Amino acid sequence: QVQLVESGGGLVQAGDSLRLSCSASGRTFSNYAIAWFRQAPGKEREFVAAITWTGVRTQYEDSVKGRFTISRDNAKNTVYLQMNSLKLEDTAVYYCAAPQDLFVTPGTTRETYYYWGQGAQVTVSS
């Protein structure tokens, strides 16, 4: 069982940076792949980034490559999403997610993930 809680959202201007945190409960957190998704108003929830349980491999959606960085600190049971050069189109509710099973290779579809946080609002203004 994993419980996920996002934090760090807020209102920023275009070009600014923001770091989201995903804090998790559970002793086996270090064995879970973790992903970030986002959902803008009126749109489907979409994949943003994912990281393996070791933290060695990461994956990004094309529009955030070079601007966003996903990382994890297993000692703190936390995964981060550093977002730089934010754009208006990055405005969305951001969710972190974990699959149901341990040691799963992270995917880019919602169906890969079972545990979800409550979401953190990120608003980018001009």
Amino acid 22: pLDDT: 97
What is the Cα–Cα distance from 78 to 30, expressed in whole angstroms? Answer: 9
Sign of CA dihedral 51, 95, 48, 9: negative
Mean pLDDT of 1-24: 96
Amino acid 32: pLDDT: 93
- Is the pLDDT at 1 greater than 90, yes or no? no
Amino acid 29: pLDDT: 85
DSSP notation for the chain: ---EEEE--EEEETT--EEEEEEE-STTGGGS-EEEEEE-TTS--EEEEEE-TTSS-EEE-GGGTTTEEEEEEGGGTEEEEEE-S--GGG-EEEEEEE-SSTTPPP-SSGGG--EE---EEEEEE-
| Per-residue pLDDT reduced to its tens digit, 75-94 | 999 999 999 999 999 999 99
Amino acid 103: pLDDT: 87
